[in-house]
Amino acid sequence: MGGLRTAGDLVARMQMTRRMRLPAAKAYVAERLGVTPGDLSDPVTMADVRREMGLGTIPTEDTAGPGDALAIEAKLNIARVLDVPVRSAERLRELTRG
């Protein structure tokens, strides 16, 4: 399972933040994204899912779109979708509150 091409980064985040074993982390991420665990390693399916949910993709000439979530916006969306803390997203929220 890859990183931004598929869902490896999301699964790894669940393993680290919630101490989930690999099968449990895959099942959790698949459920939150509305796909099957098998879809998590399909780069074509995951590119569409990541783009629709604003979870970030690898921007290249042939795949990048003007409305794609990048950098901190993608991290904010990952924190929301997976219901996990992302330190940089939390820090941004603190800085922009007032």
User: Which pLDDT tens digit goes with each residue over 15-69?
Assistant: 999 999 999 999 999 999 999 999 999 999 998 999 999 998 876 656 667 777 7
Query: Is 1 a domain residue?
Result: no
- Average pLDDT of span 62-82: 82
Identify whether 62 is part of a domain.
Answer: yes
**Domain, as residue range, for 75:** 8-96
- Nearest residue to 68 via CA among 2, 4, 3, 1: 4
In a domain, 33, yes or no: yes
Element housing 76 (H / E): helix 71-82
Q: Is residue 16 part of a domain?
A: yes
Q: Does residue 91 lie within any of the structural domains?
A: yes
63 belongs to a structural domain: yes
The answer as to whether 58 is a domain residue is yes
The domain total for the chain is 1
Which pTM does this prediction carry?
0.83
CB-side exposure of 91: number of CA atoms within 13 Å?
A: 5
Report yes or no on 2 lying in a domain: no
